[in-house]
Amino acid sequence: MKRPHFFAFLSLACLTLATLSSGLFASEARMTPLVKAVQKAQKAVVNIHTEKTAKDQDNIFGSGKARRVTGMGTGVVIDERGYIVTNFHVVSEVEVLEISLADGAHYAARVVAFDKNKDLAVLKVDRDQPFEVMTMGTSSDLMLGETVFAVGNAFGYVHTVTSGIVSYLSRDVEVNETQSYQDLIQTDASINPGNSGGPLLNLDGEVIGINVAIRAGAQRIGFAIPIDDARNVLADLLNTQTISGTYHGLATEDKKNGTDRHLVVRKPDPGSPSEEAGFQAGDVILSVKDHTITDRVDFERWMLDVPKGQKMTVEVERGGETKTLELALRQSDKATVIMAQNSHTVNKIATPVNFDSNSPEQKVWDKLGMKLVKVPKDQIHPVHSKYNGGMVVTEVRQGSPAAKHGIRNGDILVGLHQWETVKSEDVAFVIENADLEKFNPLRFYILRGREVLYGYLQLK
């Protein structure tokens, strides 16, 4: 007999409007540290609304019974260009993904990267004006009994604020047979369904954790991923080679001890752009393009969207002196298909190729903005036995429909609309179909790790 599990994820299908008081006319006595911290942080918290189709798992491309399922969660803005962190379980396999801000504005979002095991995901929202960014704290100096607070979509009541203390540090939690966490922050600030992916903050208005789980049936027992641990994962998810297909070749390490936070170079890869720029082991990276750098996330996010070959000014501290280096990214020459299989990883290398002008491959590149290479059935079967093969993405054209909807190098395209895509001709058949306008936007299915992700390509 399986033993019961008493922990639960926090996302919930519910939507209710709520607002926070601005405190413009409050007396100084009422403007407590908590009130000031809430006002500082609330604009960088987002509410997440999702929809997906629950259906027969053995009939991905068929017309089996299906029902729409809605869900809710919370996110934290980590970059002014619209990059947002949340929990992976909030956005797993969703088809509709929207966020709303404290001012009530709504935007479509897309998943650009995730780590299922660590239960973290990065979303992207596109808009003209910059976003408010959450002030990052550190979990390296948290104190037992320290006052903390949470802001989130509790039971669908958007931007709900709850406060409490740090109840325990480094708590291991098992949610179910497939998901467990290590070294979580335990808090008695009320964490409720819908708070998933939202911030746990200190009285300086700095995020010190990402809320992730509750003890079902208990009173005021909630858990958050320490922000330092989360930032280590986010640095890998925002790696410019993964997101933009460009390469710097610099290995770095975060050093955090309270207010002492800096990024140290471990080594530049031989022959890499970082070695050519003159980086040395032990360098402390101070800034990139005049943006202050405190950790790997800062470094990676300011590399995003930088064209290959364009020189960036990087300031480092070396031997007590400040030196200025010029770093120019290069195009990554290979796309790696990484398919997690139980306790080990299967790596397959697919080299980007050029195509004849009238080939099916060129038509796919022109229409969707992807270069695709066939993945044999026997390479996919160890991970997902239901698929008869697929097409690995080896290159994504900037500004293309594929790029705008979060498809990236290493993804495996396994379906478009109602058809499987096991060869280039299958993809070309869909995009040249006489009825294409009837099913535009074009639904796509990609395999990323062990997960099948869904989305829609808006074609001209």
CA distance 200 to 298: 20
What is the distance of C-alpha 284 from the center of its chain?
A: 26
H/E stretch holding 37 reads helix 33-41
Active site residue 411: no
How many whole angstroms from its chain centre is CA 353?
29
Q: Distance between CA atoms of 180 and 391, rounded to whole angstroms? A: 32
Is the domain spanning 1-224 CATH 3.40.50.2300? The answer is no
Query: How far apart (Å, rounded) are the C-alpha atoms in residues 424 and 434?
Result: 18
Domain 238-331 sits in CATH at: 2.30.42.10
> 239 near 250, Cβ under 8 Å?
no
> Which is catalytic among the residues 92, 100, 190, 196?
196
Q: What is the pLDDT of residue 405?
A: 79
207 pairs with which residues across the strands?
A: 136, 201
The C-alpha atoms of residue 333 and residue 347 are separated, in whole angstroms, by: 16
pLDDT at 334: 46
Cα-based torsion angle of the residue sequence 405, 68, 86, 340 in order, rounded to the nearest 10 degrees: -70
Contact between residue 454 and residue 445 where contact means Cβ atoms under 8 Å apart:
yes
The most confident of the ranges 301-305, 341-345, 347-351, 398-402 is: 301-305
pLDDT value, residue 16 = 36
Question: What residue ranges do the domains of the chain occupy?
Answer: 1-224, 238-331, 335-457
Same CATH fold, 335-457 and 238-331? yes
pLDDT tens digits, one per residue of 157-207? 899 999 999 999 999 988 777 788 999 999 999 988 889 999 999 999 999
Give residue 152's pLDDT.
92
Q: What is the pLDDT of residue 92?
A: 85
Is 183 annotated as catalytic? no
Tokens of 443: 């639904």
Query: Is 5 labeled as catalytic in the residue annotation?
Result: no
Question: Is 285 within 8 Å of 309 (Cβ atoms)?
Answer: no
Structure tokens at 147: 């006052």
What average pLDDT does range 350-364 have in this prediction?
Answer: 65
Average pLDDT of every residue of the chain? 83
- The yes or no reply on domain 335-457 and CATH 2.30.42.10 is yes
**Given 79, 119, 298, 411, which residue is catalytic?**
119
Catalytic residue among 89, 159, 248, 417: 89
Highest mean pLDDT (candidates 24-28, 162-166, 218-222, 407-411): 162-166
pLDDT tens-digit series, residues 245-262: 788 999 999 999 998 999
Q: Give the pLDDT of residue 380.
A: 61
Mean pLDDT of the region 32-39:
94
pLDDT at residue 5 greater than cutoff 80: no
Tokens coding 115: 């780590």
pLDDT per position as a tens digit, 38-80: 999 999 999 999 887 765 544 444 445 667 788 899 999 999 9
- Cα(23)–Cα(38) distance, integer angstroms: 11
Q: Count Cβ neighbours within 10 Å for each residue of 417-428 and write b for 16 or more, e otherwise.
A: beebbbebebbb
